[in-house]
Amino acid sequence: MFRNEMEKRLKDFTCNVIKSCLKLPNNETKKILINQITRSSISVSLNFAESQSAESKKDFIHKLSISLKELRETKMALEIISDLFENYNMSDIKNQVSESNELIAILVKSIQTAKKDK
């Protein structure tokens, strides 16, 4: 059950991050940030999904770790966006930062548990 819930939550996070960023005012900085955050947020979801069919415990931990790394990158990009576009309504972005903090905590705990069970 956890796997399906987490996959959905990560997919929703990815979609919400991209939708929130697309609402930002158009400029060159937005294009660069959208490109980067789209790649990192999609990678979060895809690597988690890959971890569910890992070939070994080591492979599972590795793929979850990549997902965590990409999630941290996405969070930092969201924080940069929040700072750069401070005059814009940042409620969507701030919600995604909060969600990323929760997801990071979950993935960290999952990795720790997997390493203990190894």
Residue boundaries of the structural domains of the chain: 2-117
**Alpha-carbon gap, residue 74 to 42, rounded angstroms:** 9
DSSP labels, the chain: -HHHHHHHHHHHHHHHHHHHHHTSPPSHHHHHHHHHHHHHHHHHHHHHHHHTT-SSHHHHHHHHHHHHHHHHHHHHHHHHHHHHTTTS--HHHHHHHHHHHHHHHHHHHHHHHHHHH-
Of all residues in the chain, the percent with pLDDT exceeding 70 is 97
Mean pLDDT throughout 33-40?
Answer: 94
Residue 118 clears pLDDT 70, i.e. is over it: no
Flag the least confident range among 37-41, 62-66, 91-95. Answer: 91-95
Note the pLDDT of residue 3: 79
Architecture of the domain whose range is 2-117: Up-down Bundle (1.20)
